[in-house]
Amino acid sequence: MIRFQNVSKIYNSQSAALRDVSFSVDSGEFISLVGRSGAGKSTLLKLLIVEEKPSEGRVYFDKRDVHKMRPHEVPFLRRRIGAIFQDFKLLPQKTAYENIAFAMEVAGKPKTEIHHDVPLVLDLVGLKDKGNNFPRELSGGEKQRVAIARALVHRPDVIVADEPTGNLDPINTWDVIRLLIKINEMGTTVILATHDKEIINALSRRVVSLDKGAVIRDENPGRYILS
Amino acid sequence: MITTLKRIFSAGFLNFWRNGWLSTATVLIMTITLLVWSGLLLLNVVMTGILDSLASKIDISVYFSLDAPEPAIKDFQQKIQQLSQVADTEYISRDEAIDVFKDKHSGDSTLVASLQELGSNPFEASLNIRAKETGQYGSIADFIDKTEFKNIISKINFAENKTAIERLSHIISVTRQSGLVLSLIMAFIAILVAFNTVRLAIYSSREEISVMKLVGASNWFVRGPFIMEGTLHGVFSSFFALSVMIPALGVIGPRFNSFLPEINLISYFYGNIWQIVLLQTAAGVALGVFSSLIAIRRYLKV
């Protein structure tokens, strides 16, 4: 479903964020990308959602090279990929409800569908009563759950989560991870980038380890091993 | 499509409302910009009025010898009027000239008495010629010099006033040009200030813009609300600019009238009020919308 083929990303001649990375992700998989900060996890995810372009190689989503898409096709790709970030990236001027509804509005979904679906996902992430709160009125864990709800609401094929627990305490961390597992069990592919050893070892799913921009290990089930 | 448009509209309104302070500041700056523009416009009206009234006071007069037959003078008038440079001509016959003189000096009994003493009318008939532009008097005078009517003309006062007329017409054209240049510079500065304010407002939303794009919004879906906000900024600032201008004119207008009676600012303003309102709103909206469009461009590249 997703395939990285000989992908390199070079920011300047001294440092390469990614070097000749190749692997693929099947539909319905739960895969973790692990590695130290700067190993290239985030860059890989950014390449997938066309936030950045690779210096070399190709990134395929459903057999299409996402970097060969025309600019007007990119929004449609992004609506099929729900993205979750370490810093939540919520719209500060919109309430939790509006933040989630926004993802459906951009896809041109009718009002009735929005009114139906948003409360459902709010309930799913356990924030039924916080719909009218602005992000500044929510805790870190709550913000991340709003972000997950937003990523989920248009029923994407893939959820990419870039260090989603980086800013959260252990309890909230596990809430988020449990949510991701639940989402995966409902059939959505999940790509989780993290450097949290405990999470990886507890998950016991496929693990792709990156070091200095290169894949050093790809095991299923894998563990957190960085040498 | 209609749902999308509706969403863009309501998002624009909502942003405008929730960004209260930023909106206020932007509207304020744009109001000042529009006031500068309108001020420049009115200043131009005043300047044009002053210069036109000065220009209309310039003319050349051709005096005809006492025995010149009236039909010949009429022929001459017709010929002059056909010149492309000539705006209008005014014929003053000998009888009219003496009447004007008598009216003017009716209180001066010695002058009237000496006229009677003279027995005949000493005044020459004359033709006042006004050119379309002040720079054209030279060529009109040259033309008159070469006509076959030369023998009935006793004098042309252009030669006498030549330097004064030329200097005045030079001053008028320089003033017009420099006024135009100055207005353009001022208007440009005002645009830059307003543009930068909008840019700052959009800069503060750059994170939001990238989030919208990452969630899968198309460029127009992101731009739309900002354009809507720009429109609202334009409409509001035009409203505020007008509500400052109307009372200000009420105060300035009458004072102005007392020393420049030819120019009635207030009647000009109310005579053209709809054009001014429309122009100002259009300028405000265009400024708001274009500034937003240009400022947002770089942040859409996500």
Per-residue pLDDT tens digits for B252-264: 878 877 777 767 7
pLDDT at B53 over 80: no
Q: Please check whether residue B100 touches A, CB under 8 A.
A: no
Nearest to B35 by CA among B302, B268, B249: B249
Closest Cβ–Cβ partner in B214, B217, B218 for A89: B214
Round to whole Å and give the CA distance between B94 and B19: 77
CATH architecture of the domain with residue range B59-161: 2-Layer Sandwich (3.30)
pTM of the model: 0.70
Q: Please check whether residue B209 touches A, CB under 8 A.
A: no
pLDDT at B82 over 90: no
In 3-state terms, chain A is what percent helix, strand and coil (to 5)?
Answer: 40, 30, 35
According to the model, what pLDDT value does residue B160 have?
66
Task: State the distance between the two ends of chain B, measured CA to CA, in whole angstroms.
Answer: 24
Instruction: Give the model confidence (pLDDT) of B107-118 as tens digits.
Output: 788 877 887 787
Cβ distance A10 to A62 under 8 Å? no
Instruction: Give the model confidence (pLDDT) of B146-177 as tens digits.
Output: 887 778 888 888 766 777 777 877 887 888 78
- According to CATH, what is the number of the domain A2-89+155-219? 3.40.50.300
Residues of chain B with C-beta less than 8 angstroms from the C-beta of A89: 207, 210-211, 214
Lowest mean pLDDT among A15-19, B196-200, B241-245, B256-260: B256-260
Average pLDDT over residues B263-288: 85
Mean pLDDT, consecutive 10-residue stretches, chain A (227 aa), reads 94 84 95 90 93 94 94 92 92 92 89 94 92 94 93 91 90 90 93 91 92 91 80
What does the DSSP 8-state code read for residue A188?
-
Round to whole Å and give the CA distance between A96 and A107: 18
Alpha-carbon distances of A193 from A4, A9, A31, A196, B73, rounded to whole Å: 15, 17, 9, 9, 102
ipTM reported for the complex, 2 dp: 0.85
Percent of chain B with pLDDT over 70: 98
pLDDT at B187 over 90: no
Alpha-carbon distances of B241 from A46, B28, B109, B282, rounded to whole Å: 47, 9, 60, 13
Cβ distance B158 to B137 under 8 Å? yes
Cβ distance A8 to A19 under 8 Å? yes
CA-based nearest residue in chain B for residue A109: B3
User: A108–B4: do the CB atoms touch at under 8 Å?
Assistant: yes
Q: Please check whether residue B218 touches A, CB under 8 A.
A: yes
Task: Give the burial string for B205-237 (b: 16+ CB within 10 Å, else e).
Answer: beebbbbbbbbbbbbebbbbbbbbbbbbbbebb
pLDDT at B56 over 80: no
Which of B207, B215, B301 would you mutate first to test chain A, the one with the most A CBs within 10 A? B215
According to the model, what pLDDT value does residue A97 have?
95
- Sequence spans of domains, chain B: 2-54+170-300, 59-161
- Mean pLDDT rounded to a whole number for chain B: 84
Q: Please check whether residue B121 touches A, CB under 8 A.
A: no
According to the model, what pLDDT value does residue A227 have?
62
For residue B226, give how far its alpha carbon lies from the nearest alpha carbon of chain A (Å).
14
